[in-house]
């Protein structure tokens, strides 16, 4: 039984088109620097899990595509790179603090705007819509997943 997730990306950093253009349509999901989001990766994410790829902090925030988890969690390489904005000097290779995982595009969809998500009664429970939510990775229920795919025309 797979789990489902919504993962936020700023399209200026990594957009759905970047994912589509990547080798094997797969990119390592790096830069998670929140413990709750990291714990989701560490404890619950498995290859095959479904992903709603969400564009945030941009002119048209919303769901931009469907992806899936394609590998297993690894230490996030950017935490050890002094040149990276995600560098974490307090993390060590012996006890890495942050994790990454491969995400593979299944298909690009029409952009489902945030306003549409908010307006859909069957999606009202989505974690990403809750007041004050800032997590870059949030769990999605099977019912929410089905409702989104249905709205996308599946």
Partner DNA sequence: GCCAACGTTGGC
Question: In the complex, which residues of this chain contact DNA (CB under 7 A)?
Answer: 8, 10, 33-36, 56-58, 61, 114-115, 131-136
Q: How far is the CB of 107 from DNA (least distance, A)?
A: 22
Q: How far is the CB of 11 from DNA (least distance, A)?
A: 10
25 vs 33, beta carbon nearer DNA: 33
Q: How far is the CB of 1 from DNA (least distance, A)?
A: 27
What is the C-alpha to C-alpha distance for residues 86 and 105, in angstroms, rounded to an integer? 24
What is the 3 state secondary structure string of 12-80?
A: CCCCHHHHHHCHHHEEEECCCCCHHHHHHHHHHCCCCCEEEEEECCCCCCEEEEEEEECCCCEECHHHH
Cross-strand partners of 85:
none
What single-letter DSSP state applies at residue 84? S
Q: How far is the CB of 62 from DNA (least distance, A)?
A: 8
71 vs 113, beta carbon nearer DNA: 113
109 vs 136, beta carbon nearer DNA: 136
């Amino acid at each position: 039984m797979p789990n489902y997730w919504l993962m936020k990306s700023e399209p200026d950093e990594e957009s759905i088109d970047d994912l589509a253009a990547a080798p094997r349509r797969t990119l390592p999901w790096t830069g998670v620097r929140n413990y709750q989001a990291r714990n989701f990766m560490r404890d619950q994410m498995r290859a095959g899990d479904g992903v709603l790829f969400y564009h945030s902090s941009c002119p048209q925030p919303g769901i931009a595509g469907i992806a899936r988890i394609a590998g297993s969690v690894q230490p996030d390489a950017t935490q050890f790179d002094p040149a990276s904005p995600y560098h974490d000097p307090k993390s060590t290779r012996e006890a890495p603090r942050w994790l990454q995982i491969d995400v593979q595009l299944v298909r690009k969809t029409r952009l489902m705007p945030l306003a549409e998500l908010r307006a859909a009664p069957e999606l009202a429970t989505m974690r990403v819509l809750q007041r004050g939510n800032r997590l870059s990775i949030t769990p999605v229920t099977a019912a929410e997943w089905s409702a989104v795919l249905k709205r996308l025309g599946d």
